Amino acid sequence: MGNFELDSRKPFIISGPCSAETEEQTLETCRRLAATGLVDVLRAGVWKPRTNPGSFEGVGLKGLAWMSAAKAETGLPIAVEVATSKHVESALEFGVDVLWIGARTTVSPFAIQDIADALRGNKDIVVLIKNPMNPDLALWAGAIARLENVGVDIKNIGLIHRGFSYFGHSKYRNAPMWHLVLEMRSRFPEMAMICDPSHICGTRQYLQEVSQAAADMRYDGLIIESHICPDKALSDAAQQVTPDGLEELVKGIRWRADSTDDPEFAKALSVFRSEIDQIDSEVFDLLSRRMKVAEQIGRVKRDNNVAILQGGRWTSIVEKVVAQAQKLDLSEDFLKTVLEAIHIESINRQNKVMNS
């Protein structure tokens, strides 16, 4: 049995610097985090996958020695990121208890297989797999399968949600796409899901709200970057918090119970759930009627030899609906997403009619 079990102390907190930079910074951060009594595992990156060459790429083996000293001093298990079989071997030599696979590594089946080969038959080590950079659940699931295939105990595999790289505007560094992660959790219900608010947010200012969102969704733990002097950090300076900041953040999170036996709660929930079921059925009835009308339009267009796509008309529908966003108390983004789905289905239905 390893030094840390994924299901032994839910919800658990992993914290430490983005990167081990110096012996002093690593040990002092770990010491102060341990002193809060709120941290279950200490983390630090010693090999850093950076977008630009020339950025700080980690201190390597020296960092493992510092983390190992932090473990000896605090008695807490330690976690580092691995991206190659060589990293795994070194980490195991230094008594690392938890390995995590970074988002840039999860996208590469060759790299995952290389890591898996170094873990063959290892029953004790806990391995946390971050979601791939791109929103592709199959890659994430493939990484799990590669580890299982070499005999890593499924109980020792956990997942980290660190958000997805996103083309377009998001207030976060990496868009959370919570729905994708919910889908992953329903595919792997026994696997611990840990949220990484630091890499989702990219800046300290949103850490509390994202951590609370994860707690509200009953995540099993959080991994949050902390540095004795965040502004001077050699990587991810804007998103790290001091150990005091970490303490305040964690104390401010309200973890919700999974459920309760209170009959009043059960009654209220059941009333609201039937209301939702009723509304859903009305919404889909209306959508079905809308699609039938779209088919009628398709027939009229076919009989008059007119093309399906009439851009101006669609733009005016979108404008009309979006203009009501405030009155409906629905966000513009949401309305646009729903309209787009309706538009795609409408075009498909008209297409069918035109070609019948």
Which residues are CB-neighbours of 77 under 8 A, at least 6 positions away? 2, 3, 4, 40, 41, 42, 71, 97, 98
One-character DSSP codes across 235-266: S-GGG-B-HHHHHHHHHT--PPPS----HHHH
Interaction between residue 114 and Mn ion (CB under 5 A):
no
Q: Cβ closer to ligand PEP: 132 or 298?
A: 132
Smallest separation (angstroms) from ligand PEP to the CB of 120 = 24
CA pair distance 261, 265, nearest whole angstrom: 8
Smallest separation (angstroms) from Mn ion to the CB of 225 = 6
Which residues are CB-neighbours of 225 under 8 A, at least 6 positions away? 15, 16, 17, 18, 43, 198, 236, 239, 240, 241
Measured CA to CA in angstroms, residue 77 lies from 37, 126, 133, 192 at distances of 13, 11, 27, 17
Smallest separation (angstroms) from Mn ion to the CB of 236 = 4
Q: Cβ closer to Mn ion: 156 or 174?
A: 174
Q: Quick one: which of 18, 20, 112, 193 contacts Mn ion (CB under 5 A)?
A: 18
Smallest separation (angstroms) from Mn ion to the CB of 300 = 57
Which span (130-138, 228-236, 312-320, 338-346) binds Mn ion, by CB under 5 A?
A: 228-236
Q: Which does 102 bind (CB under 5 to 8 A by kind): Mn ion, ligand PEP, none?
A: ligand PEP
Interaction between residue 236 and Mn ion (CB under 5 A):
yes
Q: Which does 21 bind (CB under 5 to 8 A by kind): Mn ion, ligand PEP, none?
A: none
Which span (18-26, 29-37, 130-138, 254-262) binds Mn ion, by CB under 5 A?
A: 18-26
Q: Which does 162 bind (CB under 5 to 8 A by kind): ligand PEP, Mn ion, none?
A: ligand PEP
Smallest separation (angstroms) from ligand PEP to the CB of 151 = 25
- DSSP category for residue 153: -
Interaction between residue 39 and Mn ion (CB under 5 A):
no
Q: Which does 185 bind (CB under 5 to 8 A by kind): Mn ion, ligand PEP, none?
A: none
CA pair distance 322, 313, nearest whole angstrom: 14
Smallest separation (angstroms) from ligand PEP to the CB of 162 = 4
Smallest separation (angstroms) from Mn ion to the CB of 252 = 22
Q: Cβ closer to ligand PEP: 4 or 346?
A: 4
CB atoms within 10 A of CB 199: 24
Between vectors from CA 194 to CA 191 and to CA 196, what angle results, nearest 5°? Answer: 155
Smallest separation (angstroms) from ligand PEP to the CB of 236 = 6
CA pair distance 55, 302, nearest whole angstrom: 60
Q: Which does 130 bind (CB under 5 to 8 A by kind): ligand PEP, Mn ion, none?
A: ligand PEP
Q: Which does 103 bind (CB under 5 to 8 A by kind): Mn ion, ligand PEP, none?
A: ligand PEP
Q: Cβ closer to ligand PEP: 21 or 81?
A: 81
Measured CA to CA in angstroms, residue 85 lies from 92, 97, 99, 106 at distances of 11, 16, 12, 14
CA pair distance 94, 61, nearest whole angstrom: 9
Phi, psi values for residue 260, rounded to 5°? -145, 155
- DSSP category for residue 283: H
Which residue(s) pair with 170 in the sheet? none
Q: Which residues bind ligand PEP (CB under 6 A)?
A: 18, 45, 81, 102-104, 130, 162, 199
Q: What residue ranges bind Mn ion (CB under 5 A)?
A: 18, 236
